[in-house]
Structure 1
Amino acid sequence: MSESRLRAGTASVGRVEFEVEFPPGHVACYVVDAGVPVLVDAGMPDERGLGGHDEAFREGLARHGYEVADIEHLVVTHPHVDHIGQVPAVLEAADPTVHVPTGVRERFARDADALARRVRENATMAGLSGDQLEDAVDMARESLERDRSFLPPTAVDHWVDPGETFTVGDLDLTATHTPGHQADHLVYTGSLDGEDALLSGDAGIQPFRPVVIHDGLDDGYRGAFAAFVRGLDRLDDLKPAPDRVYPGHGPVHDDLPGVVERHRGSLERRLDGVREQVADGVRTVPGVAMGIAGDDRSVRYLLPEAMSALAHLESEGEVVATVEDGVRYYDQA
């Protein structure tokens, strides 16, 4: 765990990092001095990654002069576990006003068994079977149940709409919807003592493009690539471009346009790679995902990206799908 003290003009922003096993080895949340302490995202729970995250959270806040009980506002970019893991600690120790993307309300109201059934249908048709199929179904059900236990909808005070401007302490934040990595993802722009800043969660990350997960293997996979592009378009449309970006992974940086351009290129290269695999005779989602993963990556989180890429190419008329024995097979158009 490490933390760094960052500055936007004279308004301070404290960064707290949690060590994790997946690249780039950390996830960050931020505590903003907005006249009152504002926490943006909430890091990892103890049950995941390398553990010790409860202590890392307390020590990280302490290095910036705060205790967990001091938090007066909690602002969430998206409900992935590495960004909401310490929400229960904040709710137990403090009485914060909790601000969460409005799409999460409907998502968390979903019946877990109904979600599991739908994922099973989609995954079976995509060609998953055996342990891989059961893992995908279990992952969908358990993720929903886990995430809404960390971020209980009853604890949310303010469901934030895309495009909405709201006030935390003496700071005005404007929410922009940037789906693709996660369907409800919001980024927040605000002026920190005269500097235009972006609190970006899993958008605008400099070292890598976040995987296209969107809503996993639920029905949103069909539009996930197009959604990711819309999110990038909205980041490009932020005017003026933020002076500084505070992401959930990778360094704080001042090059949002460059990052957006690289992410567009990464998406195109992914589609190019999938086109090549189909041309070479790879016909199923698991086959494409394994080709993406290679020998040194887990296929688990690449299945949604592979499934979404093939659905996108099908929608563009570049591949055609035929159903054989309940499984979709893809070929060049």
Structure 2
Amino acid sequence: MSDPTDRAAGPLPVQITRLDFDIEWPPKHAAAYVIETPDPIVIDTGNPDERAETTIRDGLAAQGYELGDVNAAVVTHPHSDHIGQVPLLREAGATVYAPSAVLEQLERDPDDLANGVRDIGMSAGYRGEAVEREIERAQDSLRRNRQLLEPTDAVGFEFGDSFEAAGLEFEPVHTPGHQIHHASLAVTVGDQRILFSGDALIEPFRPGAIHVGIDYGAYEAVDAFHEAMDRLEGRSFDRVFPGHGPVFTDSERAIEHTRNELESLTADTLEAVVTIGPATPMELTRNRVGEVRHPAQLLDTLGALGTLERRERIEYVDHDGVREYAARKAPL
């Protein structure tokens, strides 16, 4: 837990306390924030384990609050390290807010999800039991997230329409790429404009282009991330509170860094295609990063391949549902 007040931006008129949670996957931590207005608001809620519950309880207690004092919990996106303690806060009386598109997504038919994972997993180079494992993983994730962020027990908000929670007016900005229905939350506190950026904008690293996971739309992830940066660029924020990494003040520098990292990913993927193509996305990922340790590494590749195809730099041949990419031949 820390006080993210930054001297460059000046003191905030209300305290915003950061709660840090340990997670098992990189970057090994996640952050939530308590806006200490008369009716406290929690932005994101950490992961779903007992340690995270203790973090929430102890963090609130250190600021003189109990769980029942929290008026609202606002969710940026439905990954487990951000919605893990939603049930705890909801049961204590907090109103839960989340993007309406997220709540609709959580109602998806598991069989439809299986079809998406099967088609895209096969296209990427998964075989046999590996495809079935990915389907099981995706369906388990859907069931878990639906239990954590129960759609019928949350208030949905629309992108582009401001909404009020506990006396503060939030502007949800649609920032896909890391997650297809991700919301970055712009809000004015006193005389300062701040952004709760979730996993859309982080310093000093780029979040994975997870977007939809292994599912229909995976090849659109990098383009979607660029669209997210388009929506944030040119806005003025005094301070940005991300879901990982430190609080920062220079949002334009973080946007530029994210764009540069996306372009580096795209260039590296093109180099892999030129070097070993025709090749499947899985083979290209191994060429790019070595051993594939995390699904995000493959998902980055899928997103970059989609971008390169739309830029007419590469093309693929479909072999019974499996894509093999090669550099696009120049016209005669």
Supply the distance in 1 between the matched residues of 2:272 and 2:114 (Cα, whole angstroms).
29
- Residue in 1 that maps onto 2:187: 190
- Residue in 1 that maps onto 2:272: 277
Give the CA deviation at 1:304: 1.8
User: In the alignment, is residue 36 of structure 1 matched against residue 39 of structure 2?
Assistant: yes
After superposition, the C-alpha distances for 1:39-86 in whole angstroms (9 at most, x for unaligned) are 11111111xxxx622212211221122221111111110010000000
Amino acid at match of 1:199: F
Residue identity (%): 38
What is the total number of aligned residue pairs between the two structures? Answer: 322
User: In the alignment, is residue 246 of structure 1 matched against residue 241 of structure 2?
Assistant: yes
User: In the alignment, is residue 305 of structure 1 matched against residue 300 of structure 2?
Assistant: yes
Amino acid at match of 2:265: R
Distance change (3 Å), C-alpha of 1:299 and 1:199: closer
Supply the distance in 2 between the matched residues of 1:41 and 1:23 (Cα, whole angstroms).
18
- Whether the 8 Å CA contact 1:18–1:53 is kept in 2: the answer is yes
After superposition, the C-alpha distances for 1:148-189 in whole angstroms (9 at most, x for unaligned) are 1100001112x1111111222232211110000000001111
* 1:245 match: secondary structure: strand
After superposition, the C-alpha distances for 1:287-315 in whole angstroms (9 at most, x for unaligned) are 122233324x6142222221221122112
User: In the alignment, is residue 215 of structure 1 matched against residue 218 of structure 2?
Assistant: no
User: In the alignment, is residue 265 of structure 1 matched against residue 260 of structure 2?
Assistant: yes
- Residue in 2 that maps onto 1:166: 163
- Residue in 1 that maps onto 2:77: 78
- Residue in 1 that maps onto 2:286: 290
User: In the alignment, is residue 98 of structure 1 matched against residue 96 of structure 2?
Assistant: yes
* 1:227 match: secondary structure: helix
Supply the distance in 2 between the matched residues of 1:190 and 1:122 (Cα, whole angstroms).
38
- Residue in 1 that maps onto 2:233: 236
- Residue in 2 that maps onto 1:181: 178
- Residue in 2 that maps onto 1:256: 251
TM-score (normalizing by structure 2): 0.93
- Range with bigger deviation, 175-184 or 303-312: 303-312
Supply the distance in 1 between the matched residues of 2:250 and 2:129 (Cα, whole angstroms).
42
Give the CA deviation at 1:131: 4.4
- Whether the 8 Å CA contact 2:76–2:198 is kept in 1: the answer is yes
User: In the alignment, is residue 150 of structure 1 matched against residue 148 of structure 2?
Assistant: yes
Amino acid at match of 2:87: P
Matches within 5 A, 1:126-145: 126-145=124-143
- Residue in 1 that maps onto 2:321: 326
- Residue in 2 that maps onto 1:107: 105
Amino acid at match of 2:124: A
Structure 2: runs of 5 or more not aligned: 6-10
Supply the distance in 2 between the matched residues of 1:134 and 1:81 (Cα, whole angstroms).
22
Give the CA deviation at 1:138: 1.8
Structure 1: runs of 5 or more not aligned: none
Distance change (3 Å), C-alpha of 1:281 and 1:187: same
TM-score (normalizing by structure 1): 0.92
User: In the alignment, is residue 58 of structure 1 matched against residue 53 of structure 2?
Assistant: no
* 1:191 match: secondary structure: strand
- Whether the 8 Å CA contact 2:276–2:284 is kept in 1: the answer is no
Supply the distance in 2 between the matched residues of 1:292 and 1:64 (Cα, whole angstroms).
46
User: In the alignment, is residue 202 of structure 1 matched against residue 202 of structure 2?
Assistant: no
Supply the distance in 2 between the matched residues of 1:101 and 1:326 (Cα, whole angstroms).
34
- Range with bigger deviation, 83-92 or 220-229: 220-229
